[in-house]
Amino acid sequence: MAITRTNIMICVGTGCLATESEKVLKNLELILKARGYDKEVKIIKTGCFGFCEQGPIVKIEPENVFYVRVGPKDAKDIIDEHIIKGRRVERLLYKEPFQNEGIDKQENIPFYKKQLRVALRNCGLVNPEDIYEYIALGGYEALGKAITKMSRDEVIDTVKKSCLRGRGGGGFPTGVKWEIAKAQESQVKFIICNADEGDPGAFMDRSILEGDPHSVLEAMAIGGYAIGSDKGIIYIRAEYPLAISRLKTAISQARELGLLGKNIFDTDFNFDIDIKYGAGAFVCGEETALINSCEGKRGEPNYKPPYPAQEGYWGHPTCVNNVETFANIPSIITKGPEWFTSMGTENSKGTKVFALAGKINNVGLVEVPMGITLREIIYDIGGGIQGGKKFKAVQTGGPSGGVITENELDTPIDYDSLTGIGSMMGSGGMIVMDETDNMVNIAKFYLEFTMDESCGRCTPCRIGTKRLYEMLNKITSGKATMADLDAMKQLSYMVKDGSLCGLGQTAPNPIISTMKHFWNEYVALVTDYDNPQGEGKYEAKNKIGIES
């Protein structure tokens, strides 16, 4: 590899690509070449920096200068001013709202100050299409350590001691899951990476796969070694074309270097990975539905038990873990479980990635230690509410979660505390609502989503969510009675109680939690529909803005 004096890192994640980072990249390359600097300055395509609101992001190393909202026309200034003359392009530096001074270093930007990157450690740092960059930063060291120096039990023990819990939402201890899968007596086992990220507004897994695919491949191989599987499957939604192409590149590079395939690190451990595409059905994130879909069957859940760890893909023991869960594994192996447990709260260790969206200033991807408060995330990292409006609520756990109000903003975030206040961790979607949002509409938005995404297999979810949605419609069009509110509440609990899988069992949560916290808004729509109180407060037409 040629040695260069300066690296220009440009984000080519989906968010920045959408704001034309590809054109910026092309212009940077052209101008650099035209000026004759292409030998000493290297342009590196990276994954997501997380600060999607401010994209496209360009970072210059080793000076550590962080440019935001870089347009195609700004490429000239970056080359001519920064690269050639050594002068910062002030206008491209990030400025806090109502401040004139630009901030040049990434770590000084408030958005990054309270973040702690473990799963996202390489996103925005390495070129995801170059395995050597991953290796240069210690990549595949964990795999080497695991399969040459550790027994399978030691690997599982390490993961168990780290107290890592599933990041897909359920929070089941990963080490225990691996232990159960290992205990199954079977010649054939599978390890599946669940990359069927489907929560509206959530894009944690996509960013990891786009920005650091090797961390997932490495972790899958470690998991395969631990449970005794030689075959991994990544189940990814087809709507993630960039993540798919990066994964394909990563898999073929890993195969070329013998990091996947036969006799990895000259041991007798063989492991390879296949990609299976999902059609984007939300329910296929449920592990039994995911396995059905992998087998080419209709993507709908089965009753449990048997659990996939007992009878999964084609009847073989199968371990299903989420992308973010996997992304944590290599560091746990190399740095040890104590390092991991030093972060977080008593029952939730490590960090969690959240996708901030909705009425918040800094829409983007953040990774924070467990135990941080929602207030810190929303105000310190997220920069507060857009347009200086008043905060009303935040929805965590996606359509399966619930709303959290001002009163609970100081709750330290972990699996148990979020459940305690009527929401859930979920996969990490975090949607912020301001004072203009009508909470009945919010509930309706989520219900419409789960109703559409229901596979239809069981009665309560198939027909119940439809009826709930119809009742919400009745309420927001001013035709409901107080008795309807009661009936809706009853049905919500029945759908939760009677449904077959997690989708139906959690689908009414947005109704239940908004009814609990914002009952007055429901009542107002019933009793005083024609006289909305406060500007836009009960405007039943507005939708919440969701971006990703």
Partner 1 sequence: MAGSQKTHEDKKTINVIINDQHLQVPYGISILEASTEAGVRIPTLCHLDLHDIKMVNQTASCRVCMVELVDSKNNRNKLVPACVTTITDGMIIRTDTLRSITARRTSVELLLSNHPNECFTCPKNTDCELQALAAELGIRKIRWEGERMNYPKDISSDALVKDSNKCIYCRRCETMCNEVQTCGILSGISRGFNAFVGPAFNIPMVESSCTYCGQCVQVCPTAALTEVNHSDKVWEALNDPDKHVIVQTAPAIRVALGELFGMDPGTIVTGKMVTALKRLGFDAVFDTDFGADLTIMEEASELIYRIQNNGTLPILTSCCPAWVKFIEHQFPELLKIPSTCKSPHIMFGTIAKTYYAKKNGIDPDNIVVVSIMPCIAKKAEAKRPELTKDEHNNVDIVVTTRELGAIIKEAGIKFEDLPESEYDRPLGETTGASVIFGTTGGVIEAAIRTAHEWITGKELENVEFNQLRGSDGLRKATVQIGDKELKIGIASGLGNARALLEEIREEKDKYDAIEIMACPGGCIAGGGQPYHHGNYEIVKKRQDAIYEEDRNKKLRKSHENPEILKLYKEYIGEPYGETAHKLLHTHYEERERI
Binding site for partner 1 (CB under 8 A): 184-186, 281, 298, 300, 303, 305-306, 310-311, 317, 451-460, 462-467, 470-471, 487, 490-491, 494, 497-500
DSSP 64: T
Q: Whole-number minimum distance, CB 546 to partner 1, in Å?
A: 20
Looking at residue 420, its amino acid is G
Q: Nearer Cβ to partner 1, position 317 or 382? A: 317
Per-residue 3-state assignment (H helix, E strand, C coil) for 130-193: CHHHHHHCCCCHHHHHHHHHCCHHHHHHHHHHHCCECCCCCCCEHHHHHHHHHHCCCCCCEEEE
The whole-angstrom separation of Cα 359 and Cα 336 is 39
Closer CB to partner 1, 487 or 546, in the complex:
487
- C-alpha dihedral over 529, 530, 533, 538, to 10 degrees? 50
For residue 392, give the H/E element and its range: strand 391-396
Residue 193: strand pairing partners = 234, 321
Asked if 329 and 141 count as a contact pair (C-beta separation under 8 A), the reply is no
- Nearest CB to partner 1, comparing residues 328 and 400: 400
DSSP 480-517: --HHHHHHHHHHHHHHHHH-SSHHHHHTTHHHHHHHHH
Write down the least CB distance from residue 439 to partner 1, Å: 22
Centroid of chain to Cα 528 = 40
According to DSSP, residue 399 is labeled G
Dist. CA 222–CA 463, nearest whole Å = 43
Find the shortest distance in angstroms from Cβ 188 to partner 1. Answer: 12
Nearer to partner 1, 362 or 492 (CB): 492
**Distance between CA atoms of 45 and 243, rounded to whole angstroms?**
14
Comparison of 219 and 458: residue with beta carbon closer to partner 1: 458
Six token digits for residue 262: 């036969």
Q: To the nearest whole angstrom, how small is the minimum distance from the Cβ of residue 302 to partner 1?
A: 8
Residue whose CB is less far from partner 1, 209 or 309: 309
The minimum distance between CB 303 and partner 1, in angstroms, equals 4
**288 vs 322 by CB, closer to partner 1:** 288
Q: Is 47 within 8 Å of 13 (Cβ atoms)?
A: yes
CB nearer partner 1, residue 119 or residue 455: 455
How is residue 189 written in tokens?
């086992």
Comparison of 432 and 472: residue with beta carbon closer to partner 1: 472
Sign, CA torsion 515/199/343/393: negative
Nearer to partner 1 (CB atom), residue 456 or residue 536: 456
- Please report how close the Cβ of residue 199 comes to partner 1 at its closest, in angstroms: 17
Residue type at 273 in one-letter notation: I
Nearer Cβ to partner 1 (70/451):
451
Token pair of 314, please?
């084609």
**What is the C-alpha to C-alpha distance for residues 203 and 213, in angstroms, rounded to an integer?**
14
CB of 284 to partner 1, least distance (A): 11
472 near 484, Cβ under 8 Å?
A: no
What is the DSSP-derived secondary structure letter of residue 380?
I
Q: Which two tokens stand for residue 79?
A: 């080359």
What token pair was written down for 132?
């050597």
In this structure, what are the phi and psi dihedrals at residue 65, rounded to the nearest 5 degrees?
-105, 135
Instruction: Write down the least CB distance from residue 166 to partner 1, Å.
Output: 21
Question: Shortest distance, CB of residue 491 to partner 1, whole angstroms?
Answer: 6
Shortest CB 423 distance to partner 1, Å: 19
Q: Is residue 356 helix, strand or coil?
A: strand
DSSP states of 85-129 as a string? H----GGGBEE-TT--SEE-SGGGSHHHHT---STTTTTTTS-TT
Q: How far apart are CA 20 and CA 11, in angstroms?
A: 10
Question: Smallest gap, in angstroms, from Cβ of residue 14 to partner 1?
Answer: 26
Structure tokens at 329: 């594994």
Task: Tell me the C-alpha distance between 436 and 539, whole Å.
Answer: 9
Q: Supply the minimum distance, in Å, between the C-beta of residue 519 and partner 1.
A: 21
Token look-up 């309706």 returns 444
In the complex, least distance from residue 482 CB atom to partner 1, rounded to whole angstroms: 15
Residue placing its CB nearer to partner 1 in the complex, 311 or 376: 311
Q: Pick the closer one to partner 1 by CB: 12 or 447.
A: 447
Measured from the CB atom, the residue of 47 and 508 that comes closer to partner 1 is: 508
Least separation in angstroms between residue 467's CB and partner 1 is 4
Do 439 and 513 touch, CB atoms closer than 8 A? no
Residue pair 188/384 in contact by the 8 Å Cβ criterion: no
